[in-house]
Amino acid sequence: MDTRADVLDPVVRDQALAFFRAIAHPDRLVVLLALADGERCVSELTALCGTSQSSMSHQLRALRDAGLVRGERRGKQVFYGLDDHHVTHIVRDAIAHVREDGRSVPAFRARMSGCDGNSSS
């Protein structure tokens, strides 16, 4: 596979960008990491993220629409799992990358901490 040619293809490029947009939310990242260890029901994911059922449904819908997770109804519950093993590798590699020595940039952390609305600037 020639990845240089793929990047030049606007369709492939846009799909890759959509993938990164889909995982660029704290709750979605937690969900993907949790599902890397196996399927979980919605109530488990809601408790894990400390969010409402409505918010979790929204996040799961975004992940489903991006083709990253799949849901399966079992009785009254819906269980979610990763749709593709590549998702596990990408998310875990990203976490490993930022944990490496010298990769945690304090200025970036400080800038991002202002994104929660608690910044004084």
Domain span holding position 81:
3-112
What pLDDT does residue 6 have? Answer: 62
**Which pair of structure tokens corresponds to residue 8?**
């030049």
Residue at 73 is within a domain: yes
Residue at 121 is within a domain: no
pLDDT digits (tens, 9 = 90+) for 18-58: 999 999 999 999 999 999 999 999 999 999 999 999 999 99
What pLDDT does residue 113 have? Answer: 53
What pLDDT does residue 110 have? Answer: 52
Residue at 100 is within a domain: yes
Give yes or no for a contact between 77 and 41, defined as CB atoms under 8 angstroms apart. Answer: yes
Residues near 59 by Cβ (< 8 Å), separated by ≥ 6? 25, 27, 28, 31, 49, 51
Split at pLDDT 50, 70, 90, the class of 104 is low
Residue at 46 is within a domain: yes
CATH of the domain at 91: 1.10.10.10
Helices 42-49, 26-35: inter-axial angle, 10-degree rounding: 130
Split at pLDDT 50, 70, 90, the class of 118 is very low
Helices (runs of H) and strands (runs of E) counted in the chain: 7, 3
